[in-house]
A and B are shown apart, each in its own frame.
Chain A
């Protein structure tokens, strides 16, 4: 395994052993498992409720975990001075950022796959079909986590642990209401409109990555829309990581 590969694998190993990840993992697993209970108070549309609640729990827990793991990672390494031991090795700082990001992403994807498998088992156990819209929603959640974790890394490359977590959470929330901002802009004057449109394009558009409503209503969006969303998420995350690398390259570790 190469040096960077080892850094990815050890990042995953660390997250797996971190008590917070373990507790959150068990909690999330319990919540997804408990989503069957919601069907008990449902008169009809069992499948819709099961899928909606299950995917909702998965998304909530995994996004919070993504913010926790990513926004604190770099800042914590700098504050504890662990970074001295690693970036003094013959590796590039940008390589370090991408490798540490890889470790976090590996943790999140592993958890997501386990939770998705549980949800699929539940859906099957209730005698419903596992359709492509459900699989697609699970896959798109990975992209949502990718962008959220990249946001956390970006802020973590120049802010403290707390500030980075607050900013990541804030931008994530704002990114959920991107189209509202855009619509609001059209009702304002030219300056306000330009400002809100700029903010709309600047913020990550998490609505584009939210395929949970499609899974709930068993609808499939056009392939072009999905491909556009995938490309958007990959480009946005890559842009954030490149920016984080540039900031990190110039930074003094006092």
Chain B
């Protein structure tokens, strides 16, 4: 049986901060995570949720305080295990005095691409990220989007079986984001497993098979995108005329949200409450302008998960005494 591309068991990481190293932050707490072969797994979470720490442990950039992690059955410290892995960090900074082509060539050689194949393969990936024309300029002359493309090219040069992307679309214009999404989908079609960390929900919805939401270092919810969307309660937005917010509150119905806009009152209710709201509001003289079903979205799930998180800290790791 082939080992899972990523397997984490009870992974925790504690950072010590301050001059005397006496302040402790739990960046990651008891994280267990499995990424299956060929899937695109989206790791979502607010800033400081522990996404980057998870990635850094997987790539041996940071040592875990406890727990285990493996890549294709090998521990991250085993450099041979990283041969099939590639990484695109957030805000990458490649060597600025090298040209894009030189940097991608260096990445190819470090990743073990045979000398006879390097030049051809570098040309291919530079073409895939549409950087052939600028490949011979020094990287310090590149815009942020061009740097991101070169870093993606260096990640693809040795045809990795696992691609780890940390905010790969951050700072890109719409065309750049589209290109990155297309590259991710192309890699998925080619059978590459992808761990995709971001807080751009639209990107996750577009490319991920499964999603996990991390808040304050803990995994709060996990499942396939369709499962998670199905779990969400469906609700409706009702626009009422000649009916104030006070009148809505006076009905005593469990509404999710009520607001006024341009002389109208907007009420969001769960599906079972909709008939009661409409019936009682009409009986009391309200005019119904519209009833719109609210589309279940990952964004709602994301926000709800963060709000439900028991930790007082929703952003950043958990501080301990």
Contact = CB atoms under 8 A, between A and B. Distances in A.
A10 interface: yes
Interface in A228-254: 250, 252-254
Given A85-B92, A253-B56, A253-B62, A7 B138 contact: no
A252 B63 contact: yes
Interface in B107-142: 107, 109-112, 115, 138
B95 A89 contact: no
Nearest to B79: A90
The size class of the interface chain A forms with chain B is 20 to 34
A10 B95 contact: yes
A92 B87 contact: no
B94 A90 contact: no
A22 to B, nearest CB: 11
Contact of A10 (B106, B111, B112): B106
B87 A254 contact: no
Nearest to A11: B95
Given A80-B93, A82-B94, A89 B110 contact: yes
A252 B52 CA distance: 13
Given A6-B106, A17-B138, A252-B63, A90 B97 contact: no
B106 A90 contact: no
Interface residues of B, number: 34
Contacts of B93: 80-82, 85
B91 A81 contact: yes
B106 A7 contact: yes
A88 B92 contact: no
B62 A85 contact: no
Contacts, number: 84
Interface in A62-118: 80-92
B62 A3 contact: no
Contacts of A250: 63
A91 B89 CA distance: 17
A91 B106 CA distance: 12
B287 interface: no
B156 to A, nearest CB: 13
Interface string A1-40: 1110111001001100110000000000000000000000
Contacts of A3: 109-112
A7 B109 CA distance: 9
A85 B94 contact: yes
Interface string B81-99: 1110101010111110110
A252 B62 contact: yes
A83 B106 CA distance: 14
A2 B112 CA distance: 8
A91 B102 CA distance: 18
Contact of B97 (A5, A13, A83): A13
A91 B110 contact: yes
Contacts of B97: 13-14, 17-18
Contact of B115 (A1, A7, A10, A252): A1
Given A6-B110, A7-B106, A89-B107, A84 B98 contact: no
Interface in B46-105: 56, 59-63, 79-83, 85, 87, 89, 91-95, 97-98, 102, 105
Contacts of A88: 59-61, 82, 85, 87
Which of B81, B89, B95, B98 is most buried by chain A, counting CB atoms within 10 A of its CB? B95
Contacts of B60: 87-88
A141 to B, nearest CB: 26
A228 to B, nearest CB: 38
Contacts of B107: 85, 89
A254 B110 contact: no
A178 B198 CA distance: 55
Nearest to B91: A81
A3 B62 CA distance: 23
Contact of B89 (A10, A18, A84): A84
Interface of A: 1-3, 5-7, 10, 13-14, 17-18, 80-92, 250, 252-254
8 contacts: A3-B111, A7-B110, A80-B93, A90-B111, A90-B112, A252-B63, A253-B61, A254-B56
8 interchain residue pairs of minimum CB distance: A3-B110, A89-B110, A6-B109, A17-B97, A80-B93, A14-B97, A88-B59, A90-B83
